[in-house]
Amino acid sequence: MKPIVEQVIENSRSNPDKIAVCDGKSAISFAELAGMILSAKETLVSSYHIAKGDAIIIAADKQLEFVGVYFACHLIGAIALPIAPDTNEKRYDAIKDRAHPVLTVGFYDGQIPEADFSEFAERKRIADHSGIVYPSLDDVADIMFTTGTTGEPKGVQLTHRNIAAAARNINAFVQNEAEDVEMIALPVSHSFGIGRMRCALSNGQTVIMLGSFANVKRFFGFIERYHVTGFGMVPASWALLKRMSGMKINEYKEQLHYIEIGSAPMPTEEKQGLMDALPNTRICMHYGLTEASRSAFMEFHECADRLTTVGKQTPNMTISIKDENGIDLPNGVEGEICVAGDAVTVGYLNISKEKSFWDMYFRTGDWGVRDDDGFITLKSRKKELINVGGKKVSPMEVEAVLMDFDFVEDCACVGIPDPEGILGEVVKAYLVTQEPDKADWGEMDRRIGERLESYKHPAEYAVVNEIPKTSSGKVQRLLLK
């Protein structure tokens, strides 16, 4: 196994003129991408004194330079922290506190050195790769910040081995080939989107970057123009595509070789609808976490009679259903889904592994059961995160903002099915207040304003007499659902 950056640079030797990345405005070949990575490395080292082990925050924007800077970090042995360009200040500061970055690219910071993407636009071909020293597979490559149950970001450390193993496993299941053209419309600040980018580029595929699924006309325009043959999406993307275009995707049933779906549960009828629209496409849905890559997979057509499950363990990954003492449970018995394999994180940043691992098995916090055929059914989410269209919302983060309003005496937030049937779940807030007229949705939304990203804003409010709690005072959110 080789680090992803090494695989990408190797692809530049075997296929120098093939388009590696296109953002719809300009495109670069694999040779130019390798040149961009090597030039960006020089800039990071000479202008910003970046060395092995240094952490760099990068605005994960879908532009060619992001790809260059991201892999340049890897080449130096530095640690990439790709975060959303619109990350709010509180989260940004929390990430900074934990990771102690020495440079930020694409953000205004004011405290640590800042670089602009324009400094990394150089893309001259560099033919001589003989002096390149690649990072060790056991060095940390990325730290991905997830939303923990406390609402505080947790840094998931992923080594070069982790991300290379993940790409190998996913490509083995999805069966995408070097000739395939992948469109990335998912955000590359999340593990799913950036993971798809690594899968495709390490595989020698052309990657087409699309801003988002929102512009459905452009989405289909890009499929036509670039002859896209595969992409990743979350169930909300499919809901959007259907709402905006009916079954237009059926027009590409011969062209689309694969789709990877993940990040949130998908209703069975939606799966069936997609299968009907794309009878010849490998529609692969994963169950996974940033910490454990894609842990289980299923292909809809192959598993048409098992669509209510999350499939079987991914190639090279091992799933064990364990009890609360870490003991393996037999098939048919419900327990915690635990995952082992070389794509599993080496641990959280600055947090002991003790609570998140049973030996080599990462504890997902999800409850499930495996049947005798190896299919795993997800039973419940032990963690109380709310899954808004694939984006995880911590109820505690929302509650902390609501509790700041003087008329809110107590509150709790839970996920409820999206009444529109689009996002999977939306946030519902239960408030204890003597001034119920202030619990109006419009009024509350205005008060919350920019304190929370809009997908974290509650979609519904209810006034209650009290919030159910355990004897020790822990909020019993599940009782409110």
Partner 1 sequence: MNTKIFDEVTEIIAGILEVDKNMINGETAIGDIESWDSLHHLRIISSVEHKYGFRFTPDILLDLEDVEDIVNATEEQIK
Please report, as ranges, the residues that interact with partner 1 according to CB under 8 A: 61, 85-86, 187, 210-218, 220, 236-237, 239-240, 242-246, 248, 388-389, 391, 420, 422-423, 449-450, 453-455
Which residue, 193 or 341, has its beta carbon nearer to partner 1?
Answer: 193
Which residue, 267 or 365, has its beta carbon nearer to partner 1?
Answer: 267
CB 104 → partner 1: shortest distance, Å?
A: 16
Which residue, 122 or 251, has its beta carbon nearer to partner 1?
Answer: 251
Rounded CA gap, 375 and 308, in Å? 10
Residue 228, SS3 per DSSP: coil
Type and span of the H or E element at 198: helix 191-202
Rounded CA gap, 230 and 301, in Å? 16
CB 18 → partner 1: shortest distance, Å?
A: 27
Count CB atoms within 10 A of the CB of residue 375.
19
CA Rg, the chain, in Å? 23
Q: Identify the residue whose tokens are 């919350």.
A: 448
CB 391 → partner 1: shortest distance, Å?
A: 7
Rounded CA gap, 310 and 297, in Å? 6
* Residue 41 CB-density burial (10 A; 0-12 exposed, 13-18 middle, 19+ buried): buried
Of 160, 43, 158, 159, nearest in space to 105 by CA: 43
Which residue, 24 or 326, has its beta carbon nearer to partner 1?
Answer: 24
CB 87 → partner 1: shortest distance, Å?
A: 10
Of 382, 364, 379, 380, nearest in space to 332 by CA: 379
In this structure, are strands 361-370 and 376-381 parallel, antiparallel, or unpaired?
antiparallel
Sequence-ordered list of residues with C-beta below 8 angstroms from that of 129, at least 6 positions apart, any chain: 9, 12, 13, 34
Which residue, 237 or 320, has its beta carbon nearer to partner 1?
Answer: 237
CB 248 → partner 1: shortest distance, Å?
A: 7
CB 214 → partner 1: shortest distance, Å?
A: 4
Which residue, 61 or 65, has its beta carbon nearer to partner 1?
Answer: 61
Which residue, 52 or 243, has its beta carbon nearer to partner 1?
Answer: 243
Rounded CA gap, 310 and 292, in Å? 15
CB 88 → partner 1: shortest distance, Å?
A: 10
Which residue, 109 or 410, has its beta carbon nearer to partner 1?
Answer: 109
CB 157 → partner 1: shortest distance, Å?
A: 27
Which residue, 323 or 440, has its beta carbon nearer to partner 1?
Answer: 440
Signed CA dihedral, 370, 375, 379, 380: sign only: positive
CB 164 → partner 1: shortest distance, Å?
A: 29
* Residue 224 CB-density burial (10 A; 0-12 exposed, 13-18 middle, 19+ buried): exposed
Cβ atoms 176, 200 nearer than 8 A: yes
Q: What is the DSSP track for 308-356? A: TS--EEPTT-EEEEE-TTS-B--TT--EEEEEESTTS-SEETTS-STTT
CB 103 → partner 1: shortest distance, Å?
A: 21
Sequence-ordered list of residues with C-beta below 8 angstroms from that of 228, at least 6 positions apart, any chain: 181, 182, 183, 208, 222, 255, 256
Which residue, 196 or 391, has its beta carbon nearer to partner 1?
Answer: 391
